[in-house]
Amino acid sequence: MASERDVNILAIVTAEIRYRLLASIAMVAVVMASATTVFFFYWLSELAAERTRVIQRDLGLNLRILPAEADLESYWMKGYADGVIDQSLLTTVQQQEVANRLVPMLQRTVPWGDGEAILTGIGEEIFVRGESLKPVFGGFGDTVGELTLGAIAAGKRRLIEGDRVTVLGQEFLVKRVLAPSGSIDDIRVYGDLSMVQSLLEMPGKLNEIRALECECGEDVADPEAWIRETLEPLLPGTQIVRQDRLAETRRRQRIMADRMTTAVTPVLIFFTSLSVAGLAFINCQQRRGEIGLFVAVGMSAARIGSIIATRAALLGGAGGVLGVMAAWILVDQLGEYFVGTGAGRIPLQGLHGLLGGLLGSLIAFCGALVPAVLAAKSDPATTLPGD
C-alpha cells in the first residue's frame, strides 16, 4: 500500500529539487554569490568607515578648550596653555554631547636634568556615546610611578625603556619611549593626570580639554558656530579653539564615506538581483511547459504561486544564508588587506543569517515571479511542450 500522504506543495518542490539537483545547486550558487557580494561590500564599507574614523582620530583633535587667560600666541609657541580651568568643567562638556571623545590634560614646562621638558598629564578618556574606543594616546597605560617619553626627550638623555629617571625630585620608571612624531610631542614627558597634578601641586586643575569627533551632524551648516553657541555660555573662564580646516575635512570625509555606503549597497543589490533574475528567467522559460501543465490540470494561481514561492524560499534562503557566511569569512580574512591594519572584526549574528535568507528568498522570488505570472496567464495549450 502506498503512502497516504497528500500531494502538498513542499512535496512537489522537494521532489523537483531532488530531480533537478544540478540546476538547483546552480540556483543556490548564484543567490549565494549575490548575497556574498552584497554583504561583503556592506561589511567592508562598515570596516572602512570604522578605519576612517580611527585614521581621523590619529590626525589630530577637533576642539581645544583652554583657560580664558591663555595667550594663543604663547599656546602655539610653547605647545600648551598658561592658566588653569577647573576639572569639573569636563562633566559640563560631556553633558552637552558636542564631541564623542574628551581628553583632560595638564601640561607645564619643568626642569629636567640640564634642560627642560613639557610634563604632560593625560587623564582617562571619556566617551560620550558610551562605547569604549582605542584611546587617542593609546598604549600609554601609565600608572603612578611610570612615565612615557617623547623621542627627543628620551634620545637627548640616552634613556630607554626600563631606565629610572628623576623629575621634580621624584623617581619614575621609563615605561615606554615613543617613535619620533616630528612635532612638539617629541619633547613631552607623559604621565597619569592625577600623578602630574600631584607632582605640580595642582590638584583638580586642567589647562586643556581636547574634544575629538565632533557630534555635529550633516544638517549643521556651520559646526563652529553651533559648538560655540552650545558650549561658551556653559564654560565661564574658558576659550574654545577649533582646528577648523582639519576638523571640517574629517567631517566631510566621514559624510562622504557614509554616502558611498548608502549609494553602493543599492546598486550592488540591483545588479546582483539582475543576474539572479536572468538565471531565474532562463530557468523559468525551461519550466514554462510545467507551469502550463499546472494550469491545464486546473491548479489555482495561488497554488502555482505557492510552489514558486516555496522553491524560492528554499533555494534562495539557502543561498542567502550561505552567502552571508561566505561574506563573513571573506571579510574576516581579507578585511585588513583592503582597509588596513586595525580594521577590527564584524561580529556574525543570527540576525545576519536571517537577513541573508530573506534577501536570498526575495531575490529568487522576484527573479521567478514575472516569467511565472506570464506563463500562468498564457493559454496552457500554447505553453505545454510539443503543442
Partner 1 sequence: MEPILLECEQLTREFPTSGKSVRVVDAAALQVSRGEMVVIRGASGSGKTTLLMMAAGMLRPSAGLVRVLGQDPYQMSPDHRSRLRATSIGVVLPMFHLLPYLDAADNVALGYVGSHGRTEATKLLSSMGLGERVRQLPDRMSAGERRRLMVARAMLHQPPLVLADEPTANLDSANVDQITGLLREVKMRGGGVLVITHESPARFDADRIYQMRAGRLEPVTDPDLV
Residues near partner 1 (CB under 8 A): 1-7, 11-12, 15-16, 18-20, 289-290, 293-301, 376-377, 379-382, 384-387
CB of 4 to partner 1, least distance (A): 6
Helices (H), 60-148: 72-78, 89-96
CB of 380 to partner 1, least distance (A): 5
How far, in Å, CA of 45 to CA of 346, rounded? 11
Select from 54, 104, 49, 105 the least CA-distant residue to 258: 49
Instruction: Answer for the pair 126, 102: CB distance below 8 angstroms, yes or no.
Output: yes
Residue closer to partner 1 by CB (options 293, 358) is: 293
Residue closer to partner 1 by CB (options 77, 301) is: 301
Sign of CA dihedral 320, 322, 325, 329: negative
Residue closer to partner 1 by CB (options 95, 382) is: 382
DSSP conformational letter for 311: H
How far, in Å, CA of 62 to CA of 128, rounded? 15
Instruction: Answer for the pair 55, 176: CB distance below 8 angstroms, yes or no.
Output: no
Residue type, 299: M
CB of 374 to partner 1, least distance (A): 11
Residue closer to partner 1 by CB (options 279, 307) is: 307
How far, in Å, CA of 25 to CA of 307, rounded? 18
CB of 259 to partner 1, least distance (A): 46
CB of 28 to partner 1, least distance (A): 17
How far, in Å, CA of 287 to CA of 383, rounded? 10
Residue closer to partner 1 by CB (options 163, 290) is: 290
How far, in Å, CA of 205 to CA of 191, rounded? 15
Residue type, 289: G
CB of 281 to partner 1, least distance (A): 21
Residue closer to partner 1 by CB (options 5, 158) is: 5
